[in-house]
Amino acid sequence: MHIPVIIGGGGIIGLLFYYELQKKFPALDCALLESSSFFGDMATGRNSGVLHAGLYYPEGSLKHQLCLEGNRLWDELSLELEVSLKRCGKFIVASSEDEREALAELYQKAKRNKVPLLRETTKEEEDELKKWCSYTDSFFSGSTGVLSPSEVIKNLVRKIESRGGILMKNHRIERVQELSEGEGRFLVSTDQGEFRCDTFVNACGGFAPEVRKGLGLNDFESYWVKGSYFKLNKSFYNDSLIYPVPPKDLLGLGVHTSFDLDGIIRFGPDTSSCEEYEHSLNEENMEGMFQAIQKVFKGIERSELSLDYCGIRAKIKRDGKLYPDFFIGNQREGYLEYLGIESPGLTSAPALVREGLRKLEIRG
Ligand SMILES: Cc1cc2nc3c(=O)[nH]c(=O)nc-3n(C[C@H](O)[C@H](O)[C@H](O)COP(=O)(O)OP(=O)(O)OC[C@H]3O[C@@H](n4cnc5c(N)ncnc54)[C@H](O)[C@@H]3O)c2cc1C
């Protein structure tokens, strides 16, 4: 079967790409192939749901630029998709004298990154924070927000299908190869049969480096890092998020509070190595996680916490070394790929999609 455009992967990137493509070219035939029986079943449905402000990333990196742009674009997109977005802001807190300097450096970096709505904490806020966490110093980021990724996915699917879009679950892409003859530029082989297309968008998240191998692209490998969340079975401070000073390796941002729009409080995500892409929760990690929570937050008993869910960060390595940025490639004509779309990928998604559409030359 020949379809002009095929998108691989039904997470936020694949679905939003489809949504924006339909807006630009309403008559263009496109299909999305998703391996799972749910959309958003991998990283998109298993994260903190935070719209990041762009504090942490190296100046000028894609993570920095697209996070700032994506954070801004979500205002309009959330209205279009009819999803709630709460601009609750977040405090970044130093919990000991040792962390004071790192906090000050992060504040300066955030200013250099031109993060909007940054400010120092007021005396009243400081007094409030001291009730909930070990407190030495802090600053506030006002453009940080929360939304519900599952609501975003549900509404994207509804809107794409209502415009006649074709979303195929339970279709795992095994290989994508360039064609030298016959109709179309690529042959997409799945566990349900073969498709031909002129344009292929690889938005397969943690499996994107595997999917590109049939095109002779072998320069990136996957590096997965699991992050688990604890649910708190009581109420806690939830006017704004509270984040610690991040660890130097930035494998994660440190165990922080997160809350969904129903007000359920979680702590997480931690970082643990992950050889297989599977979402089991490991009781053995609980002790380390509890210690990380106790270092920053006050009044939390072990018995008030229960393991909730985990997600897998789709990091990538090049030449055996961690590649620190997003990678948007189009090394073959008609082929676009998203690699290393870990955090802040949810925030950056609208900007990642814009950037991808700019790179690909699609005609309606
Ligand atoms: C623990 C954790 C916390 C995070 N917190 C935040 C946060 O607070 N804010 C933020 O901005 N970002 C956050 N992120 C990052 C964010 O979740 C991701 O960047 C984003 O969801 C990536 O979307 P995606 O569409 O690229 O990937 P995914 O959501 O993983 O989607 C890829 C899709 O491709 C499908 N697929 C895979 N292989 C194949 C195949 N062979 N054939 C067909 N389909 C395939 C998968 O089933 C999946 O549905 C977090 C991530 C994690 C893991």
Atom of ligand 1 nearest to the CA of 314: 53
Determine the straight-line distance between the first and last CA of the chain, rounded to whole angstroms. Answer: 19
Q: Is the dihedral of CA 232, 236, 238, 244 positive or negative?
A: negative
Pick from 341, 347, 353, 355 the residue to mutate for probing ligand 1's pocket: most ligand atoms within 8 Å of its CB.
Answer: 341
Per-residue pLDDT, averaged over 213-226, amounts to: 96
Looking at residue 328, what is its pLDDT?
A: 98
Question: 183 C-alpha vs ligand 1 centroid, how far in Å?
Answer: 32
Question: Which ranges in the chain are annotated with CATH 3.50.50.60?
Answer: 5-46+150-221+323-359
Looking at residue 248, what is its pLDDT?
A: 79
Question: Which ranges in the chain are annotated with CATH 3.30.9.10?
Answer: 88-145+222-318
Whether ligand 1 lies within 6 angstroms of the CB of 10 is answered as yes
Pick from 20, 207, 259 the residue to mutate for probing ligand 1's pocket: most ligand atoms within 8 Å of its CB.
Answer: 207
Whether ligand 1 lies within 6 angstroms of the CB of 227 is answered as yes
pLDDT digits (tens, 9 = 90+) for 256-310: 888 887 789 999 898 888 999 999 987 777 888 899 899 999 999 999 999 999 9
Question: 184 C-alpha vs ligand 1 centroid, how far in Å?
Answer: 28
Q: How far apart (Å, rounded) are the C-alpha atoms in residues 122 and 144?
A: 18
Whether ligand 1 lies within 6 angstroms of the CB of 345 is answered as yes
The answer to whether 52 touches 115, Cβ cutoff 8 Å, is: no
The tokens of 291 are what?
Answer: 């210690």
Global pTM? 0.97
Given pLDDT bands bounded at 50, 70 and 90, which one contains residue 209?
Answer: very high
Q: How far apart (Å, rounded) are the C-alpha atoms in residues 204 and 212?
A: 10
Spell out the CATH class of 5-46+150-221+323-359: alpha beta
Domain 88-145+222-318 CATH (choose: 3.30.540.10, 3.40.190.10, 3.30.470.20, 3.30.9.10): 3.30.9.10
Q: How far apart (Å, rounded) are the C-alpha atoms in residues 231 and 361?
A: 45
Mean pLDDT in the chain? 95
Residue 344 pLDDT exceeds 70? yes
Given pLDDT bands bounded at 50, 70 and 90, which one contains residue 327?
Answer: very high
Neighbours of 30 (CB within 10 A): 23
Neighbours of 61 (CB within 10 A): 15
Task: Tell me which residue has its CA closest to atom 4 in ligand 1.
Answer: 47
pLDDT digits (tens, 9 = 90+) for 16-39: 999 999 999 999 999 999 999 999
pLDDT digits (tens, 9 = 90+) for 97-127: 999 999 999 999 999 999 999 999 999 999 9
Residue 192 pLDDT exceeds 90? yes
